A and B are shown apart, each in its own frame.
Chain A
Amino acid sequence: MGIAAGTAATRLSRRRLTWRRAAGGAVPYGLVLPVVAALAAVLGYPVYKLVRLSFQHYGLFELIRHSGQDVGLANYGSVLHDPVFWHTLLRTVIFTIANVGLTMGIGTLLALLLVRVSGWVRILLTAGLVLVWSMPQVVAVQVWQWMTNSQNGVVNYVLTELHVGNYFQHDWYTTTFSELALVTTLIVWGALPFVAITLYAALAQVPRDLVEAAEVDGARAWRIFLDVTLPILRPVLLILTSLSIIWDFGVFTQPFLLIGQGHIYPSNYLMGIYLFEEGYVNSDFGRGAAISILMLVVVAAMSVFYVRRMVRIGDVE
């Protein structure tokens, strides 16, 4: 590896982390105030109410009378003692890891591809990604159902025509694995545009001259990626991963609509569906609130690694 690229890279990584921060007096608070004010005004009461509800028995009856019965930790107890909760939790954690892994992996590759293609292919590909991104979820689910329909779905038709196997009238919705795999394809497909485009935007920040200098010195693409590109991408990768974990863990609309209310059983629940079925469908708002808080705790635990790194980045003084 060339010396020039090496020192450039180290200079870069060392300097980037040492922002000198001003003690700006009132200025930072003024800049941050609108966000805090908006959040407090709009979400303050709902969040408080959600927490409060988790400690109450609160159904339709109580909703109409605007007052619930305080039951302490009974809601939490009932959820934590429910074996369905634990099975669903495990299933959802595995599901989240699979989805986030696939999304981030393929998304990164897509972003790198976007840099390497010609201008017109790039515009075509990004416009295509935005089209995918902009499709309403219910419509995307419906298209997926058409494609995977056992009677007339195009997936069965194509697989049979390509002689991959006999998929004539194959029902994709009979096993939990098959159902969740389909949901995964739908979710990853829908999530790729955001990851790919954001990473592509981040790649645009990588100074061209550094990359070129390293290339001229004969460094392999892989090394360039690790030493030059990745350090710059790191914050954005952390952001995207942490957000993906949050979204994929709590996903509801796609699996619920794709699998269909009639085929949803405790054996293929995901946490978002569990929350809906155990809380809101039965109008048991107290229980729903408790499950929401528990989900928050789990997601926080799953993403703490990424969040901590994100907080620390840009912090070294």
Chain B
Amino acid sequence: MKRRTIVALGLAVVLAAALTAATSGATKKAAASSLTVWLQVDAQTGWPNLVAAANQQFQHDHPGWTVNVQYQNWSDHLQKFNATLAANTVPDVIEMGNTEMTQYMAAGAFAPLDKTQFDNSANWLKGLAKSGQYGGKTYGVPYYAGSRVATYRTDLFKKAGIKKLPATLNQLTADAKKLAPLGGGKGFSPIYFGGEDWYVAMAFVYDYGGEIAHTYKGKWVGSLDSPQAIAGLTAYKNFFLATDKAGKTNDSTNPNPYDVYAQGKAGVIVGPSWYTCCVGAKYKATTAQFVLPGHVAGKPMPGFLGGSDLAVPATSPNKALAADWIKDFTSTQSEQGLRAKGNIPNATNLLGNSVNERAASRSWFVPTAKHWVDVENGNILKNMLGQILTGNLSVKQAAKSASDNITSVLNQP
């Protein structure tokens, strides 16, 4: 009799579990009249009002429809996206980093869009727009961008007698030498950026007329071993060794440049313009920014245009509505709102005069190759920079090796 009780108990547990599963009120697809939008969490903390405004506009134009915005993390939003692609539960709109687009466009993940329906599309920033185009079609709408600027201590510049902001790289190097003795001892770096911060290093390459890679007869060719690129890398090496006490193998984290700055251990840091958030209470009042100068007077150092695009997955059932929502979110008014929050808006006619935007007037972008992600993940550029700065390899050798590496990686099937 006791045995039967056990068996009954066991079966009851199974049944209970099954029942809960069956009757749980959850459905994976929201009601048909709900648009699913994936934005990164930066929007939730940075400009929630712009999201709300776009939602309101959309709901006004399409009565009966609601917008379900789900915030994602940069670190795993692609894994989630892959899962929805496999299960056909894709969002209707997705925010993609501009370096993430190519891989997915090449795989046919997105629906082609009609450029002309979006505000200011004729004036989209070239660097951003390129990241959303593939095979002649537009798949991504530029959302916003950020460039790299120099954040500096106005009080130290004053103390050093630097009256004008440097207009060329040589002047900046000279200014750095004047800053060096003012740091108060061990660990002060006149200019601070990690040796392997390739966003800064590649800017030098592009400033000297070089590039990372280009296409030739349908195949990718790594071009870091061209004379111009080598000149740029050499200039970078000299600049780093003359002005920067940061770790030669550090990138832009661990430590964060703004943390170093906040401790009073840096006169100038190079990085995104939002670095001013975290310079610490002590130096908040004596912090300003300038555009990093190139080696030729009048031409700023090209800034890396990091940014996001908005795309519509091809298997979404609400493609037209999704495009409409994107239109609302990237409208002139919305973009101006983004600009007010310190971002670079997506069109040249909307650009203002902030340091961030002036830095974007001359910009560079990574090769729009399907396998560019592999170059980044393989740390090819970082490795090269580390070898150059530590002197393990000459600039020429390191550049050649990296270039060959890039050629083979980008040309994978």
Contact = CB atoms under 8 A, between A and B. Distances in A.
Judged by CB atoms under 8 Å, the answer to whether A and B touch is: yes
Interface of A: 24-27, 30-31, 33-34, 37-38, 59-61, 63-64, 66, 145, 149-152, 169, 171, 174, 260-265, 277, 280-283
Contact of A64 (B109, B265, B382): B109
A264 B17 contact: no
Given A24-B3, A33-B10, A61-B108, A149 B255 contact: yes
9 contacts: A24-B3, A27-B6, A30-B7, A64-B107, A151-B187, A169-B187, A260-B253, A260-B254, A262-B253
Given A150-B247, A262-B382, A33 B82 contact: no
Contact of A61 (B11, B107, B253, B382): B107
Contacts of B263: 152
Given A30-B11, A38-B17, A174-B249, A149 B254 contact: yes
Contact of B379 (A38, A60, A169, A262): A262
B86 A281 contact: no
A169 B374 CA distance: 32
Given A60-B104, A66-B86, A34 B17 contact: yes
Given A26-B7, A263-B249, A283 B382 contact: no
Nearest to B103: A60
Nearest to A36: B14
A26 B5 CA distance: 12
Contacts of A38: 17
Given A64-B85, A64-B314, A281-B373, 8 more contacts: A31-B6, A34-B17, A59-B107, A150-B247, A151-B260, A151-B265, A260-B254, A264-B379
- Closest 10 CB pairs between A and B? A60-B107, A30-B7, A30-B10, A61-B107, A262-B251, A34-B14, A27-B3, A151-B255, A281-B377, A34-B13
Interface in B232-263: 247, 249, 251, 253-255, 260, 263
A34 B10 contact: yes
A63 B103 CA distance: 13
Contacts of B14: 33-34, 37
Interface in B163-210: 187, 196
Contacts of A60: 82, 85, 103-104, 106-107, 109
Interface string B31-75: 000000000000000000000000000000000000000000000
Contacts, number: 84
A30 B6 contact: yes
B380 to A, nearest CB: 10
A55 B11 CA distance: 38
A152 B260 CA distance: 10
B383 interface: yes
Contact of B10 (A31, A59, A152): A31
B contacts with A: majority SS: helix
A293 to B, nearest CB: 19
- Interface-centre pick from B6, B7, B247, B383 (highest chain A CB count, 10 A): B7
Q: Interface size bucket, B side?
A: 35 or more
A169 B265 CA distance: 13
Interface of B: 3, 6-7, 10-11, 13-14, 17, 79, 82, 85-86, 103-104, 106-109, 187, 196, 247, 249, 251, 253-255, 260, 263, 265, 314-315, 371, 373-374, 377, 379, 382-383
A144 to B, nearest CB: 11
A44 to B, nearest CB: 15
Contacts of B260: 151
Nearest to A24: B3
A33 B255 CA distance: 53
Nearest to B13: A34
Nearest to A57: B413
Given A169-B187, A283-B82, A262 B10 contact: no
A265 B377 CA distance: 9
Given A149-B254, A169-B187, A63 B82 contact: yes
B41 to A, nearest CB: 15
B83 to A, nearest CB: 10
A264 B371 CA distance: 19
A102 B86 CA distance: 41
B247 A171 contact: yes
Contacts of A151: 187, 255, 260, 265
Given A63-B82, A64-B85, A265-B383, A152 B255 contact: yes
Contacts of B82: 60, 63, 283
B402 to A, nearest CB: 14
B311 to A, nearest CB: 13
A309 to B, nearest CB: 29
Contacts of A262: 196, 251, 253, 379, 382
A64 B6 CA distance: 47
B6 to A, nearest CB: 6
A277 B376 CA distance: 12
Nearest to A174: B249
Nearest to A265: B379
Contacts of A34: 10, 13-14, 17
Nearest to B251: A262
